[in-house]
Structure 1
Amino acid sequence: MYDPGCYGGEPFFVARDPGDQEAEEDDGYVVTYVHDEVAGESKFLVMDAKSPELEIVAAVRLPRRVPYGFHGLFVKESDINKL
């Protein structure tokens, strides 16, 4: 699914509006890290979960390589504020 020489990490689903109980189950984004072995670059990808081909809506080049097997954890700001 990625360009030749590119390898992705663990994908994670992020709801567009986590509080919307009426939202469709794919109403959100799939996010992941991808490393390009040819260019030597890592990117953070944001893809539209409703798109049949997971259309990329944002690609952020990262200043350092993200190692394979890296796991992401995404926490809502409201949960962090409870700590």
Structure 2
Amino acid sequence: MNKEQLETIKKGYQWWLEAENQADKNEFAECITTEDVPALIAEVERLREALKFYADGQKYTLAYDSNLVGTVEIFKDNGKKARQVLGDDKCS
């Protein structure tokens, strides 16, 4: 799911929350396609995977290579995984 699709669904949902009557709410429900729900679920799963990467305490443990140079895996990543998940290749 791209950012545009997600934004359209967010706007529609916000409108639905503010709708005064049930007929308006039903109209929005008809706009959600059967493809939207699996796409939203997939988006949540992608984001959860990135969060798991950064939440893993082992990623913050100092590790030494054969030259006894210490590195922390999370520093080597430098946010790359988050940018990939968010689809933002401009940041480095």
Question: Which TM-score band applies after superposition, normalised by the shorter structure?
Answer: under 0.3
TM-score by length of 2: 0.20
Bigger CA radius of gyration: 2
TM-score by length of 1: 0.21
More strand by share: 1
